[in-house]
Protein backbone atom coordinates (compact mmCIF):
# COMPACT_ATOMS: atom_id res chain seq x y z
CA UNK A 1 0.00 0.00 0.00
CA UNK A 2 1.33 3.41 -0.90
CA UNK A 3 1.60 5.96 1.89
CA UNK A 4 2.78 9.56 1.64
CA UNK A 5 5.02 12.19 3.19
CA UNK A 6 4.65 15.90 2.50
CA UNK A 7 7.80 18.02 2.65
CA UNK A 8 8.22 21.77 2.26
CA UNK A 9 10.70 22.96 -0.36
CA UNK A 10 13.63 23.51 2.08
CA UNK A 11 12.97 20.12 3.73
CA UNK A 12 12.83 18.43 0.32
CA UNK A 13 16.05 20.13 -0.83
CA UNK A 14 17.85 18.96 2.32
CA UNK A 15 16.43 15.44 1.84
CA UNK A 16 17.72 15.30 -1.73
CA UNK A 17 21.10 16.68 -0.69
CA UNK A 18 21.58 14.40 2.32
CA UNK A 19 19.76 11.28 1.13
CA UNK A 20 17.76 11.05 4.36
CA UNK A 21 15.65 13.12 6.73
CA UNK A 22 14.32 12.96 10.27
CA UNK A 23 11.35 14.96 9.00
CA UNK A 24 9.80 18.33 9.57
CA UNK A 25 9.91 20.19 12.90
CA UNK A 26 6.70 18.45 14.05
CA UNK A 27 8.30 15.07 13.32
CA UNK A 28 11.37 15.97 15.34
CA UNK A 29 9.18 17.12 18.23
CA UNK A 30 7.01 13.99 18.18
CA UNK A 31 9.89 11.54 17.70
CA UNK A 32 8.59 9.93 14.50
CA UNK A 33 7.83 10.86 10.91
CA UNK A 34 4.15 11.56 10.22
CA UNK A 35 2.82 9.84 7.10
CA UNK A 36 -0.64 9.61 5.52
CA UNK A 37 -2.63 7.17 3.42
CA UNK A 38 -4.21 8.36 0.17
CA UNK A 39 -7.53 8.83 2.00
CA UNK A 40 -5.87 10.81 4.83
CA UNK A 41 -3.73 13.01 2.58
CA UNK A 42 -6.38 15.66 1.72
CA UNK A 43 -7.09 16.18 5.44
CA UNK A 44 -3.38 16.38 6.22
CA UNK A 45 -2.84 18.98 3.50
CA UNK A 46 -5.86 21.03 4.62
CA UNK A 47 -4.96 20.92 8.32
CA UNK A 48 -1.18 21.36 8.25
CA UNK A 49 -0.37 22.96 4.87
CA UNK A 50 -3.56 24.87 3.95
CA UNK A 51 -2.08 27.83 2.09
CA UNK A 52 1.50 26.64 1.63
CA UNK A 53 2.99 26.44 -1.83
CA UNK A 54 6.24 24.71 -2.78
CA UNK A 55 5.29 21.34 -1.30
CA UNK A 56 6.58 17.95 -2.43
CA UNK A 57 4.81 14.62 -2.13
CA UNK A 58 6.83 11.46 -1.53
CA UNK A 59 5.27 8.02 -2.08
CA UNK A 60 6.44 5.07 0.03
CA UNK A 61 5.47 1.40 0.14
CA UNK A 62 4.19 0.71 3.66
CA UNK A 63 4.99 -3.00 3.34
CA UNK A 64 8.64 -2.29 2.58
CA UNK A 65 9.25 0.01 5.56
CA UNK A 66 10.59 -1.29 8.82
CA UNK A 67 9.91 0.64 12.02
CA UNK A 68 6.44 1.70 10.90
CA UNK A 69 3.53 1.75 13.35
CA UNK A 70 -0.14 2.39 12.67
CA UNK A 71 -1.34 4.58 15.52
CA UNK A 72 -4.57 6.46 16.27
CA UNK A 73 -4.55 10.13 15.45
CA UNK A 74 -7.01 12.59 13.92
CA UNK A 75 -10.53 11.32 14.59
CA UNK A 76 -9.19 8.00 15.91
CA UNK A 77 -8.07 7.02 12.40
CA UNK A 78 -4.91 4.89 12.26
CA UNK A 79 -2.05 6.84 10.71
CA UNK A 80 1.32 5.43 9.62
CA UNK A 81 4.24 6.71 11.71
CA UNK A 82 7.85 5.96 10.82
CA UNK A 83 10.15 5.51 13.82
CA UNK A 84 13.44 5.99 11.99
CA UNK A 85 14.88 8.37 9.44
CA UNK A 86 13.32 8.45 6.02
CA UNK A 87 15.89 7.38 3.43
CA UNK A 88 16.04 8.21 -0.27
CA UNK A 89 15.81 4.51 -1.14
CA UNK A 90 12.45 4.35 0.71
CA UNK A 91 10.89 6.68 -1.89
CA UNK A 92 9.10 5.11 -4.85
CA UNK A 93 8.37 8.46 -6.49
CA UNK A 94 8.13 12.14 -5.62
CA UNK A 95 6.59 15.17 -7.26
CA UNK A 96 5.56 18.74 -6.51
CA UNK A 97 2.08 19.42 -5.17
CA UNK A 98 0.39 22.29 -6.99
CA UNK A 99 -1.62 24.79 -4.97
CA UNK A 100 -4.67 25.63 -7.03
CA UNK A 101 -7.72 27.81 -6.41
CA UNK A 102 -9.47 24.90 -4.64
CA UNK A 103 -6.50 23.78 -2.56
CA UNK A 104 -3.70 21.31 -3.17
CA UNK A 105 -3.87 19.18 -6.28
CA UNK A 106 -2.29 15.77 -5.70
CA UNK A 107 -3.45 14.14 -8.93
CA UNK A 108 -3.37 10.37 -9.31
CA UNK A 109 -1.70 8.80 -6.28
CA UNK A 110 -0.94 5.44 -7.88
Rounded average pLDDT per 10-residue block, the chain, 110 residues? 97 98 96 97 93 95 96 92 98 93 80
Domain boundaries, the chain: 2-105
Which residues does residue 20 pair with via DSSP β-bridges, in sequence order?
87
Residue 85 has a pLDDT of: 98
Residue 91 has a pLDDT of: 98
Region of 5 (left: φ > 0; alpha: ψ -120 to 50; beta: rest) is beta
Residue 75 has a pLDDT of: 86
Which residues does residue 38 pair with via DSSP β-bridges, in sequence order?
none
Q: Helix, strand, or coil here: 81? A: strand
pTM score of the predicted model: 0.93
Residue 29 has a pLDDT of: 96
- Which of these CATH numbers, 3.30.1360.70, 3.90.1170.50, 3.60.20.10, 3.20.170.20, describes 2-105? 3.20.170.20
28, 76, 49, 12: CA torsion to nearest 10: 40
Amino acid sequence: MLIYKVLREPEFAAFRRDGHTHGAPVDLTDGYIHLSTAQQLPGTLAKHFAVEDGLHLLALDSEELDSIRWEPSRGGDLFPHLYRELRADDVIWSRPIALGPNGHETGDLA
